[in-house]
A and B are shown apart, each in its own frame.
Chain A
């Protein structure tokens, strides 16, 4: 990729795996547990965070030299809040059903630790273009985990993917259900999201032992 220098590419790609905000930094867990029962909701949540974090990082980065450091948290909150309200209104206008499913969790993007974390750790000290890449990268890392978790939870919990009955119909007993398969109700409960995230963390760290923390 000649488009991006090596450093910039790192900003974009590192958070997808070796510096993933959820599995490595363990941020943004609450929403990962709450909304991943369906793949669709996970995707929309992921996209919303990509938008909010990328835009927010750019805005904060542009203002980084004029924000008084004593009130920077308040400024960051105002920026995030504005962006989240935009996302919320867009969802309500164009995907009302989905915005009802996500309910309060879109609003709670404000409190998502990843966002404040990237503002503090990156956007306040870097130029807008790099902040933008960093925002995209981190939010994509977050979205990736959400999508993986959502995929397994919806597939095993409801037997569907994005609403399509991929395993057959549980009521008329077609597909897998004809031979006695049943949906795993535990997958729809939040504890199972935690366990799935835990399994991802486990697999990731056993593949790359450099990620294992010393304690």
Chain B
């Protein structure tokens, strides 16, 4: 008797019992259940929730692998830099090395494991208490969470934040598919406001920097946004920024891989191209406005905002987490706008606000997570007005017809 039959047997044994959802979840995770729809006519499609989630995870794998190598790379290059050696990034020379991989995997994989163990644990508990099936909702969140935090975040903080995010961000609203806010971003927002010293500054982005703080072998690594916000220049050239040889949250550094993931998601129709496109346009518009202000000479070089305002608008899209946010977070179908017209507005405003928060608020070095959370809240409002506009249009047409 194979594993599959055994699981079916266990499922039958536990039917109607309290722990049934937990076993069913394991079962569905490994195999497609033998259940079929019982009645009525249905739209037939293969893309169920599980497949949707797995597609997003597939799009995230390259970013995760890059994040692992980059964690090691940033650590060793920061150690070199502390001794006065400036590294020139080369993909196979000093990036894809065993040292980098081991260092990175040792730091990043515990974050992934904690994120999944705690998050799925909460989902299991809620499913058992409420007596519904465990939903696949946490699969993507659990992968996103480790990718949007700094490498050295203590594991217990991550665990606390995941519990908070899953319970307050999702379960209180009724679980998967009912949440107003993106749970992964809720978790990040919680970490950001609860433990700001671990979420920003120039010590958290490189593994080991916080531990070595103040010592003889102190290292640091500032994100590019952090450097620009202080009007200082950065040593990275454009290809470093585009391909991701830069410090930052684990998953967001490589814009190149994020673009590939985004194309994959758009091609498989998981992510809405409308949101992605309009978010890029929104960010570019805000960036152009700021560039225009600088070009007009309205603010001088001494101005606090000069560094970020004078950053060319296309560079804004490459640095920081905005690309990651737009591709993987803003396109969350649950918390985003549902109507097509609404999606354009929703995406545009995300891009627009991201750059605005990034430039104007020195306390929030990266604004994209706040912008997406803000627009999550407004998404139903946008949808409401889109639907009302349509109703009004059709009423008018009806009146013309009957008049």
Q: A180-B154, A180-B156, A182-B157 are in contact. Are A187 and B194 (CB under 8 A)?
A: yes
- Contact check, A184 vs B194: say whether CB atoms are below 8 A apart: yes
Residues of B within 8 A of A202 (CB): 172
- The residue on B at minimum CB distance from A189 is B193
Secondary structure at the B interface, as helix, strand, loop or mixed, is: helix
B190 at the A/B interface (Cβ < 8 Å)? yes
B193 touches A186 (CB 8 A): yes
| Residues of chain B with a CB closer than 8 A to A117's CB | none
Q: How far is the CB of B126 from chain A (nearest CB, A)?
A: 12
Interface residues on A, range: 10 to 19
Q: Any chain B CB within 8 A of the CB of A162?
A: no
Say yes or no: is A195 at the interface (Cβ < 8 Å to chain B). yes
On chain A, the residues within 8 Å of B312 by CB distance are none
Q: Which residue of A lies closest to B198 (CB)?
A: A182
Question: Judging by beta carbons under 8 Å apart, are A184 and B195 in contact?
Answer: yes
Chain B's nearest CB lies how many Å from the CB of A172? 16
Interface string of B98-115 (1 = CB under 8 A from A): 000000000000000000
* Interface check A10, CB cutoff 8 A: no
A185 at the interface (CB under 8 A from B): yes
B133 CB, nearest partner CB in chain A, Å: 20
When distances are taken between beta carbons in the complex, the residues of chain A under 8 Å from B172 are 198, 202
Nearest-Cβ distance from residue B159 to partner chain A, whole angstroms: 13
Task: Give a binary string over A177-215; 1 marks a CB under 8 Å from any B CB, 0 the rest.
Answer: 000111011110100000100100010000000000000
Q: How many angstroms from the CA of A88 to the CA of B196 in the assembled complex?
A: 36
Q: Does B168 contact A (CB under 8 A)?
A: yes
Residue contact B195 to A185, C-beta cutoff 8 Å = yes
Contact of A186 among B154, B156, B194, B197 (CB under 8 A): B194
In the complex, chain B residues whose CB is within 8 Å of the CB of A195: 168
| B side interface size, CB within 8 A | 13
Q: Is the CB of A186 within 8 A of B157?
A: no
Contacting pair A182 B193 (CB below 8 A)? no
Q: Which residue of B lies closest to A191 (CB)?
A: B193
What distance in Å separates the Cβ of B368 from its nearest Cβ neighbour in chain A? 20
| B residues 158-199 in Cβ contact with A at 8 Å | 160, 168, 172, 190, 193-198
Please give the distance in Å from A206's CB to the nearest CB on chain B: 9
Q: Which chain B positions have C-beta within 8 A of A181?
A: 156
B196 touches A185 (CB 8 A): yes
Chain A residues with CB below 8 A from B154, complex form: 180, 182
For B193, give the chain A residue with the smallest CB separation. Answer: A186
The CA-CA distance from A189 to B363 in the complex, in Å, is 15
Q: A195-B168, A202-B172 are in contact. Are A185 and B194 (CB under 8 A)?
A: yes
A202 nearest in chain B by CB position:
B172
Q: Which residue of B lies closest to A199 (CB)?
A: B168
Q: Are B168's CB and A185's CB within 8 A?
A: no
The 8 A CB mask of B126-160 against A (1 = contact, 0 = none) is 00000000000000000000000000001011001
Annotate B262-290 by CB proximity to A: 1 below 8 A, 0 otherwise. Answer: 00000000000000000000000000000
**Which residues on A sit within 8 Å (CB–CB) of B195?**
182, 184-185
- A184 to B190 Cα, complex, angstroms: 9
A186 to B195, CA, bound (A): 8
User: Which residues of the other chain, B, contact A186 by a CB distance below 8 angstroms?
Assistant: 190, 193-194
Q: Tell me the bound Cα distance from A195 to B167 in angstroms.
A: 11
Q: In the complex, how many angstroms separate the beta carbon of A170 from the nearest chain B beta carbon?
A: 11
Residues in chain B near residue A187, CB distance under 8 A: 194
**B327-355 contact mask (Cβ, 8 Å, vs A): 1 or 0:** 00000000000000000000000000000
> Which residues on A sit within 8 Å (CB–CB) of B190?
186
**Taking CB as reference atom, which chain B residue is nearest A180?**
B154
Q: Which of A181, A186, A189, A198 has the most CB of B within 10 A?
A: A186
User: B residues within 8 A CB of A185?
Assistant: 193-196
A189 CA to B154 CA, complexed, in Å: 22
Q: How far is the CA of A184 from the CA of B191 in the complex (A)?
A: 9
A interface vs B, CB < 8 Å?
A: 180-182, 184-187, 189, 195, 198, 202
**What are 15 residue pairs bridging A and B, where the CB atoms are less than 8 Å apart in the complex?**
A180-B154, A181-B156, A182-B154, A184-B160, A184-B194, A185-B193, A185-B194, A185-B195, A185-B196, A186-B190, A186-B193, A186-B194, A187-B194, A189-B193, A198-B172
Given A180-B154, A182-B198, A185-B196; 7 other pairs, CB 8 A cutoff: A181-B156, A182-B154, A182-B157, A184-B160, A184-B194, A189-B193, A198-B172
